[in-house]
Structure 1
Amino acid sequence: MAGRNGRTVRDLRRANRTAVLQRLYFDGPLSRFELGPATGLSSGSVSNVVADLVADGLVEEAGSVDSDGGRPRTLLRVAPASGHMIGVDVGETRVRVELFDLTLTELARAERPLAPQRHDVDVIVGHVRDGIAEVLATTGLPPERLLGAGIGVPGIVEHTADRGAVVHGQTIGWDAVPLEALLRAGSPLPDTVPCLIDNGAKTLGQAEMWFGAGRGARNAVVVLFGSGVGASLVTPEAEQGRAVEWGHLTVRVRGRRCRCGALGCLEAYAGAESLLARWREEGGRVPEGTDEETALTAMLAAAYPADGAAADPVALAVLEETAEYLGAGLSDLINLFQPERILIGGWAGLQLGARFLPAVRRHAVSYALRHPARKVTVDLGRLGPDAVTVGAAILPLADFFARGGRRPEPAPEYPVPAWRTALEERAPH
C-alpha cells in the first residue's frame, strides 16, 4: 500500500534497515540507545529493525558498556561473515581479484599479469573468470553466497538495458565491449549474484570516500595515476561518484600523441607510460624487459639517488616537467569543480608519493584561481594499491545496503498478483 508520498510500507522498512545497517557499519559497535539519535528512528523502530537484522544473521552482539545508573547496554555490530563480495581491478599491468567479507577484510586474492599493450578482451574475461573461481576455491565459499562481484575497468562504462554494462575503452582498444554479457557466459557466478561494472577511477574514489582520505568531505576529486590518468568527482549530487575522463583534457595544442589517438592530452604527459617514454626519448636508460612499475622505480632511483651519487639530469627534468603538467591538470579540476579535497591514488601516484607531491601541489595552486585554490587540499590517498579492488567490492556492498540488507530475489516467471503484493506489504515484519 502506498502512502501520500508514494512510499509503501515495504519502502519504509527497507529504508529503516538501510539506516541501521549503515550506522553500525561505519560507526559501530553501537547500542540500541545510540542508534536512535544516529538514525533518527524511534526506540521502538530501532528495536524492531535490530531484531529483524539479528534474525537475518546480519547483526550480532559485540560486548556491552556501562550505562548511567542502569543495566549495561549491549553493543551491536555488523556480522563480518554474514556476506561476501568480490572486487576486481582490471588495470593496465595486471588483473587483480580479491574476496572480502562484509567488513571488507580480505580473505583471498588472485593476480594475473598483463603483457604491455595487451588488453585482448578474451584474455581479460578469462583472467577475471579464473580469478573469481580461484578465490572461491581457496576459501571454499559457494558462489551463491556472494552478495555480488564488482569490477573496475579503464574507460567509459555505459549501462544498457539489453546488453548490460558496455565498456568504451579507447586507450586499450575496446570499442563498445559488452563486458557484463561476456563475463556472464561461462561464469562461475549464478545469475542471482549481481555483477556490477564501473570505471576504475570511480571505484578508487568510492573506496577513498568510504574508508580513506576522503571521509567527511562533501566535495572531492580522487585522481587515479597509473599507466594513464583518470579522476572521479564526488559531490552531494553524485554521492556515489562520477568518473570524468580528465586524462584526455588537452593541455598542449598539437602536442604529443596520446594513446587515445588525439594530440596534447594530459595523459600523454602525466601518465606513467608517457613519463617513461619521454625519459627514453631524451636518452634515459629505461630498464629493458621490465614492467612499468619496475621501470618507474628505476627512474625515481636515477632522479633521486639514495647513496649521494649524482642525479640523472634527464630523469629529474622529466619528472619535474611531469609534476608541472599534473599540477596544471589539477588546476582545471579546482577551477571547474571547486572541491574541498583532491586525493591522488593509483600505483604510480603512490610510488611517486610524498617526494612528488609538494611540486604538484605548488603548480596546482599557481595555475588555479586564487579563491578555490585557497580552499582545497591536495594529498595522497590512504588505501594503497588495493584501493581500486576495494572500491569495486563496494559496488555490490552499496547495492546490498540500498536494498536494506536483502539479497536480490529471482525475477518471477509470471506477473505477481496485486493482492499478493498488498498482503506482503501489510504483513508484520
Structure 2
Amino acid sequence: MTDEGRRNVRDLRRGNRAMLLRRLYFHGPLSRQELVQTTGLSSASVSNVVADLIEAKIVVEAGSVESDGGRPRILLRVDAARFEAIGVDVGETRIRLERFDLGLRELGSVDVPVLGGQLDPKAVVPAIAAGLAELTAGAQAPVLGVGIGVPGTVQHQPYAVVHGQTIGWDALPLEELLREHTELPLFVDNGARTMAQAEMWFGAGRGAESAVFLLLGSGAGASVIVDGAPFRGSTTSAGEWGHLNAEYGGRLCRCGARGCLEAYVGAEAVIARYREAVGAAVIDTDDEEEGLGRILALAEVDAGAAGDAARSVLDETAVRIGVGIANVVNFLNPQRVIIGGWAGLAMAPRLLPRIHEVAQAHSLRLPYSLTSVELGALGPDAVARGAATLPVARFLESGA
C-alpha cells in the first residue's frame, strides 16, 4: 500500500473513532447496535473501533439492557476518570483555576484574587503557573491540557496572543509566557466563548443551533453561535457586544471610545454610575462583587435616597441590556439569548423581568417571538468549565 493509501486508511479510522467517541461522550451510555444506527457505520467498523477504545481504557462497559428476543445489549460509556483537564478563568476580579475529570466534573480548584482590578501580566502569569502546579500535583489521571479563558481578542500566530484593550494587554504573548512554566498543552480563547461552549455542551445552550451568550462581569462580552459553532469574524473579535455604541457621545468606556454599552452595563460601570449619583463614600470598597452586592441590597431594602439611587441605576442598567438584546435579536435572529457571567447572574433576579419588557418593546415582533431570553445554567464558574472543554474538544476531535 502506498503512503497516501496508508494515510487515507489511518485518517478514515481516526474519523470513525472521533465520531463514535463524540457520540458516546455526549449521548452515552449506548449499545453497539445504537452506535451503528446513529452513526451509519457498519457493525464491523463499530466493533473494531469500540474494541480499540476499550483496549485503551477510554471506553468501558456500563451495564446492559434487554433486547427484543435476543441477548441483552451491553451499554458503553466514556470513562470519565481516564483523563483530566484544567480550565482557567482570567477574570478582572479573580483568576480561578479548576481541575475536572473527562466528564467535566470539578475535582479541585484554586482562586487567586486580582488586587485593585489590575491584570498585570507580571503577576498573572506566575499566579496561573502556581495554580497549575498545585492542581496538577493532585491529579489522579493524565491531564489532557489547560484551557484558558481571557478578556479580549485572541489571535493564534501560531501561539496565542491576547489583545485586551480594556485591561491594557497589547498583543500579550500569553501562551509563550506560560510555556516557560508548564509542558502541558495550552488552549487560549476569549472568556465569553469558553462560557458559551460550556453552556452549549452542558447547560442552557444544549440543542440550539444559533444562540448569543452575553457575559456580564466587570465589563461585557458575547459569543455568537451560528450552526452550532462560534462565529469568530475575520480577526476572531466577533461578539464584542459590549462595544456596540449605545449612545452617541455618551459615557467614556474603558476601551477609550464613548457611548459603548459596556460603559453602562458592566459591574464597573454600574458601581461608577451609582457613586456619581450618591457619592463614593456609600460604596467604599474596591471589590466589585462586594460593591455590586451592596447596590442590589440597597435597592431591595433601603427606602431612602440611597435605595432610590440604587433602583434608578439598576433600572437604567436593565433598559440598556434590554435594548442591547433587542439589537441582537433584530440583527442576528438567534434561537436563544443567554445571560451569564458573575455580574449578569447577580443582577438577573431583580432585572430580568424589566430586561424582557424592554427587549420585547424594541425588537421586531416575529424574531422576538421565536427567541428565548434566559439565564445561563452553569453559574459564575462557566468560563473555567468552558475553558476545560478546549482540551477535551481536541481529544474528541482527534479520536483520542
Same fold (TM over 0.5): yes
Partners of 1:232 and 1:385 in 2: CA distance: 16
Partners of 2:283 and 2:254 in 1: CA distance: 22
Unmatched 5+ residue regions in structure 2? 233-237
Residue of structure 1 in register with 2:193 after alignment: 202
The alpha carbon displacement at 1:29 in A equals 0.8
Residue of structure 2 in register with 1:368 after alignment: 363
Please say if residues 165 and 178 of structure 1, whose CA atoms lie closer than 8 Å, have aligned partners that are also in contact: yes
Residue of structure 2 in register with 1:16 after alignment: 16
Residue of structure 1 in register with 2:70 after alignment: 70
Q: TM-score normalised to the size of structure 1?
A: 0.88
Letter in 2 for 1:357: L
Please say if residues 2 and 9 of structure 1, whose CA atoms lie closer than 8 Å, have aligned partners that are also in contact: no
Residue of structure 1 in register with 2:223 after alignment: 232
Describe how 1:247-258 pairs up with structure 2 within 5 A: 247-258=242-253
Partners of 1:268 and 1:290 in 2: CA distance: 18
Question: Equivalent pairs: percent with the same residue?
Answer: 54
Partners of 2:351 and 2:42 in 1: CA distance: 51
Q: TM-score normalised to the size of structure 2?
A: 0.94
Residue of structure 2 in register with 1:356 after alignment: 351
Partners of 1:7 and 1:318 in 2: CA distance: 62
Residue of structure 1 in register with 2:291 after alignment: 295
The alpha carbon displacement at 1:241 in A equals 5.0
Describe how 1:130-209 pairs up with structure 2 within 5 A: 130-139=130-139, 145-161=142-158, 164-185=159-180, 187=181, 189-190=182-183, 193-209=184-200
The alpha carbon displacement at 1:56 in A equals 0.9
- After the TM superposition, which parts of structure 1 deviate over 4 Å for at least 4 consecutive aligned residues? 1-4, 308-311
The alpha carbon displacement at 1:32 in A equals 0.7
Residue of structure 2 in register with 1:417 after alignment: none
Distance 1:240 1:14, change over 3 A: farther
Q: Aligned residue pairs: how many?
A: 392
What does the per-residue CA deviation read over 1:9-68, in whole Å, with 9 as the maximum and x for residues that have no partner?
A: 122111111111111111111111111112221111111110010011100011111111
Stretch moving more, 319-328 or 114-123: 114-123
Partners of 2:283 and 2:259 in 1: CA distance: 26
Letter in 1 for 2:194: T
Which residue, 204, 222, 227 being the options, matches 2:213?
222
Matched, 1:262 2:269: no
Matched, 1:80 2:80: yes
Partners of 2:231 and 2:86 in 1: CA distance: 20
Which residue, 319, 322, 325 being the options, matches 2:317?
322
The SS at the match of 1:80 is coil
Residue of structure 1 in register with 2:235 after alignment: none
The SS at the match of 2:269 is helix
Residue of structure 2 in register with 1:42 after alignment: 42
Distance 1:204 1:265, change over 3 A: same
Partners of 1:98 and 1:74 in 2: CA distance: 34
Residue of structure 2 in register with 1:415 after alignment: none
The alpha carbon displacement at 1:355 in A equals 2.3
The SS at the match of 1:201 is helix
Partners of 1:387 and 1:344 in 2: CA distance: 11
Residue of structure 2 in register with 1:100 after alignment: 100
